Amino acid sequence: MTSMPGSAGPTAGATPPPSERPPSGPPAPGAAGRIRRFSRAERWVHRVTGALMLLCVATAACLYVPQLAELVGRRALVVTLHEWSGLLLPVPLLLGLASRALRADLRRLNRFLPYDREWLRAVRRRDARPGARPAGKFNAGQKLYAGWIAGAVPVMLGTGLLMWFTGLTPVLWRTSATFVHDWLALAIGVVLAGHIGMAYGDPQARRGMRTGSVDRAWAEREHPRWKGE
């Protein structure tokens, strides 16, 4: 980067995007005391992925719970919605990889650091004291959830394709795929309900995903290691 007239020289490096600034960085424009947490691309990836995931779970419930199946009807349409929402589930994330902020946060989610184990130990002891649960931009629970979903979605996609294209594989494969698909879908539904419940218990976390920024005091209290990252 070239220097401007009157400056001392070239700048030391490029300024990171707002979503990558730690809590010590400048507040979001027009919001003193708030800092940027997620970029627009990250928020849209989360919203679209969440909508597709909820559609998958809702249509699965309509297919497997007799009372819901009778209430909704139109089974062929429900099956079509379930199949295509499942196929499209990885697409928002794949498109979002064009965002530098999203790639940076994926790297953060993929790193399990020593203080993450400390966070888990505090949760196991039910120790909610300030400072007892150190976390970076993402806490250990969020990292485990992200890793679990990242592993579950490809398994669901693979087993779903085996069930869809019935003529390509032996009966034993299709039977095994159905067993895995059904029970993993139930586990995903339970974990997703827990994720939504945790989100509703933390208004600042929801605000960060909705608007992109959070209160600086919340970030320093709940994610004190974010600055170090």
Interatomic CA distance for residues 39 and 51, integer angstroms: 19
pLDDT at 53: 94
pLDDT at 20: 46
Which positions of the chain have pLDDT values less than 70? 1-32
Whether 90 contacts 155, CB under 8 Å: no
Predicted confidence at residue 19, as pLDDT, reads 46
* Residue/partner pairs of 177-185 with CB below 8 Å, 24 or more apart: 180/155, 181/156, 182/64, 184/152, 184/155, 184/156, 184/159, 185/56, 185/57, 185/60, 185/156
Judge whether 183 and 9 are in contact, CB under 8 Å.
no
- 31's torsion region: left (phi>0), alpha (psi -120 to 50) or beta? beta
pLDDT (0 to 100) of residue 106 = 96
Q: What was the pLDDT predicted at 8?
A: 44
- What is residue 71's predicted lDDT score, i.e. its pLDDT? 84
Distance CA 229, CA 136 (A): 7
d(CA 177, CA 160): 7
Q: What is the pLDDT of residue 7?
A: 42
Query: In the prediction, which pLDDT does 146 show?
Result: 94
Q: How far apart are CA 137 and CA 42, in angstroms?
A: 14
Give residue 1's pLDDT.
42
**pLDDT value at residue 32:** 59
User: Which among 175, 153, 179 is positioned nearest to 166, based on CA atoms?
Assistant: 175
Q: What's this model's pTM, rounded to 2 decimal places?
A: 0.79
**Res 229: pLDDT:** 74
CB atoms within 10 A of CB 108: 17
d(CA 90, CA 92): 6
